Amino acid sequence: MIPSGLAILLGLALGASAPGADAHLLAGASAFREERFDLALVEFRVAQSLGSPDASIYAATTLVKLNRPEEAVEAYGQGDAPGQDPIVDYYRGLACHEARLYQCAERLMAAVGDRAGPRIAGLAADVRAKAAAALAAEPGRETIDWYVTRCTAERQAKRQVLGAAYCREAAGLAKRRPDRYRLPEAEAGTRG
Amino acid sequence: MTALLLALALSSSQGPCEPVQPAERPDPVTASAYRKVGDQELAAGARETAAAAYRMAASLDPSDEGSRKALRELCLSGDRAAPSPFRRGLELMERGELRGAVVEFRQAQSPIPDGSAALLEGVCLYRLGDDAEAAPALRTAEADPAVRDSARFYLGLIALRRGDSSTAAPIFDALTPSYGTVASDMALLARRSGIFTVSALASAGWNSNVTLAPNGYATTGASDGFASIAASALWRPLGESGPYLRASGAYQQQFQLTAFDIGAVSGAAGWQLGHANRAVVAEYAYSFGALGGAPYLSSNRLLASGWLTWDSFTLTGTYLARFESYRSIYEPFSGTLQWAEAKGAWWFGPFARLGVSYRLGVDTVQVNYLSWIDHGPHADLFAQLSRSLRLGLDASLAFRTYGAVAPGPGAVRKDVYLTGTASLEYDLGNHWALQATVNAQQSWSNLPQFTWLQVVPGLGIAYLAGF
């Protein structure tokens, strides 16, 4: 089960947490397992504020469960390279997909593979297929415009990670066009 | 840690707006962290999460008035909390308040672009018939990969509505992988419609009672086979909404009873204001018919019709007046026919429609006893049985009473007509279709010579094209 998986991962993280944060991580995991995601998010956020280095990942995963994918992408932090943990990669990929970051979703879901078991592998494959369908055709200029606009808007709203993710998506799409439409601008946005 | 878990359990087991239970050991530092989380969540619009955080803060720090106040306000506002513009738009759209929904969806796209809101803005404007405003919104939505196909589908519908079949058909073709038969059907429709459309039908059949010989009398020689051709052309320079011209002609040749050969030509000029969901139409038409090779009827017709659609229900009203001038021995039938219909039609999913109507006809002619009034119910059913096969059923009942005592019989003639038609149409590609029809009509009259039955099966091939 995915919640149990998160709890196991949480166990690995407890030792690394700041004193006082562990209780909130555990309370968050308990609420998460019981699918009380509002409470889980609160506890993970509090753990984060008390210095737990991993709490943001759990908060991000909970945001996915709360159907707040854009905030989840922001909470997962910079970059979208696959990590050590396939379950986190799965949720992160799901957040990317729901936030229309299809290349990000494709990368992460490809990395999940069979590492998290057959059920997650099946779910990841489904998301991957949907992302592939969205990416099947050569992207139009208007699509790249949409991602660059979104990148700029998110940066103006102080969501730097999410903004960079949209620019990264725009850059990836621009590379799939012969004219490299707005590629330099999009790449600059990933660094900004 | 145990105290925290206990506080969490206590907090979560109660509703967010029930009295806050103080924690066993107050912890103002942790309470402050909860309050900050509550503030962040409230700023993000996550009211439930914010309430959970404020509740924890208030439990751990009884002196935390800020959290109590915030929690109280959240609880008092309850469902009155302002929903997002997108949600408000959805609610208005579901209630059919499309103009209001457009305003909300536009607001939802600022400052961050939102493809879903742009799509729904376009859909609302399309449903309002405002294609000029809908197209830019749908093109904005088209840039968002998540709603790209839906936006293109509606752009195809707009192209179809303005009669631009050469734009619409490729759009629907490209959407077939994701939309399946709905898109392929629309592509087919696009190829058969446009600014200029033509249709033709060649058919053959058999009429059991060409002469309307009464029941009980010898009907030998009353039946006959026939072949017919019909063609029509429609020009709508501005598409669905706007002026139009129509011309049509038909000829039916009986195999033996050539005195009943029928030929007719007609031309019409009209104006439709509005689209499929609501419109009004005004039309003038002239037609000329021949029977057995001799002039039979010349008529001028004025027609007005209008319809309104609510979700899957369409209400239609139609009125026409036809000024008829019969020739030769039929001249006493000359006069004015007025006809009106009120109709309700329901769509049952995308593939079946049932229509029910009531009709009233008044024919005022030169001779009183040939004038009549009739009225009665009508029903029709359309069903798309498979991608290429359609079924149509049509039935009506009419009660007709003539205007005066007929000189011969010495009685006022009263007829009842029961009419039924079943048709099957099978597509043979983009432009051709096979048609099979059976029409049956039974007349009952208080004058026995007007009680008859006629059955007409037929088979034809149709050609339809749009340009």
CA distance B413 to B410: 9
Domains of chain B, by residue range, sit at 2-80, 85-190, 195-466
Helices B2-13 and A37-49, packing angle to 10 deg: 150
A134/A147 Cα distance (integer angstroms): 14
User: Tokens standing for A167?
Assistant: 């620019």
Angstrom distances, CA of residue B219 to CA of B215, B223, B255, B262, B452: 8, 8, 17, 21, 10
Lowest mean pLDDT among A181-185, B217-221, B458-462: B217-221
What's the pLDDT band for B3 if we cut at 50, 70, 90?
A: very low
Q: Which residues 6+ apart lie within 8 Å of A117 measured at CB? A: none
Higher pLDDT, B379 or B147: B379
Contact B30 A46 (CB under 8 A): yes
B8 and A100 within 8 Å at the Cβ level: the answer is: no
- Identify which of B49, B113, B146 has the shortest CB distance to residue A42: B49
> What is the per-residue pLDDT for B1?
44
The pLDDT of A96-108, averaged and rounded, is 94
Chain A residues with CB inside 8 Å of B52's CB? 38-39, 42
Assign a CATH topology to domain B195-466.
Porin (2.40.160)
**Cβ contact B142–A142 (<8 Å):** yes
Contacts of B130 (CB under 8 A, 6+ apart): none
**What gap in Å lies between CA A171 and CA B446, rounded to an integer?**
84
Percent of chain B at pLDDT exceeding 90? 61
- 8 Å CB contact between A76 and A54: no
Q: Do the Cβ atoms of A99 and A71 come closer than 8 Å?
A: no
Q: What is the DSSP letter of B261?
A: -
C-alpha A181/C-alpha B35 separation (Å) is 46
**pLDDT over 70 (residue B354):** yes
- How are beta strands B224-235 and B452-466 bridged, if at all? unpaired
Q: Hey, what CATH topology would domain B2-80 get? A: 1.25.40
Return the number of other C-beta atoms located less than 10 Å from residue A90's C-beta: 25
Provide the percentage of residues in chain B whose pLDDT is more than 70: 94
Q: How far is B184 from chain A (nearest CA, A)?
A: 19
Question: Is a pLDDT exceeding 50 seen at residue A33?
Answer: yes
B8–A30: do the CB atoms touch at under 8 Å?
yes
Whether the predicted pLDDT of B12 surpasses 80: no
Rounded to the nearest integer, the mean pLDDT of chain B is: 90
**Is A23 within 8 Å of B112 when comparing Cβ atoms?**
no
Write out chain A in H/E/C secondary structure.
CHHHHHHHHHHHHHCCCCCCHHHHHHHHHHHHHCCCHHHHHHHHHHHHHCCCCCHHHHHHHHHHHCCCHHHHHHHHCCCCCCCCCHHHHHHHHHHHHHCCCHHHHHHHHHHHCCCCCHHHHHHHHHHHHHHHHHCCCCCCHHHHHHHHHHHHHHHHCCCHHHHHHHHHHHHHHHCCCCCCCCHHHHHHHHHC
As beta bridge partners, residue B238 has none
pLDDT in tens, B233-262: 999 999 889 999 999 999 999 999 999 999
Structural contact between residues B23 and B59, judged by C-beta atoms closer than 8 angstroms? yes
Q: Where are any strands of DSSP class E within B126-261?
A: 196-207, 224-235, 242-254
In angstroms, the CA B258 to CA B297 distance is 18
Whether the predicted pLDDT of B402 surpasses 80: yes
CATH number of B85-190: 3.40.640.10, 2.102.10.10, 1.20.210.10, 1.25.40.10?
1.25.40.10
The total of other beta-carbon atoms located within 10 Å of residue B87's CB is: 12
Q: Do B1 and A102 touch (CB under 8 A)?
A: no
Residue ranges of the domains in chain A? Answer: 1-66, 72-136, 141-191
* In B44-84, alpha helices (H): 47-60, 65-77
Write the pLDDT tens digit of every residue in B126-174: 988 899 999 999 999 998 888 889 999 999 999 988 888 889 999 999 8
Contact B146 A134 (CB under 8 A): yes
Best residue of A30, A36, A42 to probe chain B, by most B CBs closer than 10 Å: A42
Substitution target in B37, B48, B60, B179 with the highest count of A β-carbons within 10 Å is B37
CB B369 within 8 A of CB B413: yes
Give how far the C-alpha of residue B283 lies from the chain's centroid of Cα atoms, to the nearest Å: 21
d(CA A48, CA A24): 9
The pLDDT value given to residue A8: 46
Interface test with A, best of B47, B49, B142 (most A CBs within 10 A): B49
> Do the domains spanning B2-80 and B195-466 agree at the CATH topology level?
no
Q: B35: which 2 tokens?
A: 């309050």
Rounded distance between C-alpha atoms, residue B142 and residue A31, angstroms: 40
Which residues have CB under 8 Å from A116's CB, separation 6+? A5, A86, A87, A90, A124
Query: For A11-15, A115-119, B237-241, B391-395, which range has the lowest pLDDT when averaged over its residues?
Result: A11-15
Question: Which residue of chain B comes nearest to A137, CA vs CA?
Answer: B145
pLDDT at site A83? 84
Confidence of residue B319 (pLDDT cuts 50, 70, 90): very high
Q: What share of chain B is helix, strand, coil (3-state, %, to 5)?
A: 35, 40, 25
Residue B15: pLDDT band with limits 50, 70, 90: low
Pick from A20, A66, A145: CB nearest B143:
A145
Residue B186 is predicted with a pLDDT of 87
Residue B8, pLDDT > 50, answer no
Supply the pLDDT for residue B220: 64
Overall average pLDDT of the B228-232 stretch: 97
A145, exposed or middle or buried, with CB in 10 Å at 0-12, 13-18, 19+?
Answer: middle
How many beta-carbon contacts under 8 Å exist across A and B? 90
- Least CB–CB distance from B56: residue in A23, A36, A42: A42
**pLDDT one-digit tens code per residue, B164-188:** 888 999 999 988 877 877 888 888 8
Higher-pLDDT residue of B324, B6: B324
Interfacial residues of A (vs B; Cβ cutoff 8 Å) = 20, 22-24, 26-27, 30-31, 36, 38-39, 41-43, 45-46, 49-50, 66, 68, 71, 100, 102, 133-135, 139-140, 142-143, 145-146, 149-150, 153-154, 156-157
Examine the pLDDT at A9 and tell me if it is beyond 90: no
- pLDDT the model gives residue B213: 87
**pLDDT exceeds cutoff 60 at B6:** no
Q: How far apart are CA B247 and CA A139, in angstroms?
A: 46
Q: Using one digit for the tens of pLDDT, what is the confidence trace for B46-99?
A: 888 998 899 889 988 888 888 888 988 888 876 555 678 898 999 999 888 999
Contact A156 B33 (CB under 8 A): no
pLDDT at position B298 is 97
Q: What is the pLDDT of residues A48-74, one digit of tens each?
A: 988 888 899 999 999 999 999 999 999
| A30 to B5: CB separation less than 8 angstroms, yes or no | yes
How many residues comprise chain A? 192
pLDDT of residue B43: 87
The one-letter amino acid code at B191 reads R
Which of A90, A71, A93, A94 is closest to A159 using CA atoms?
A71
Q: Taking 60 as the threshold, does the pLDDT of residue B467 lie above it?
A: yes
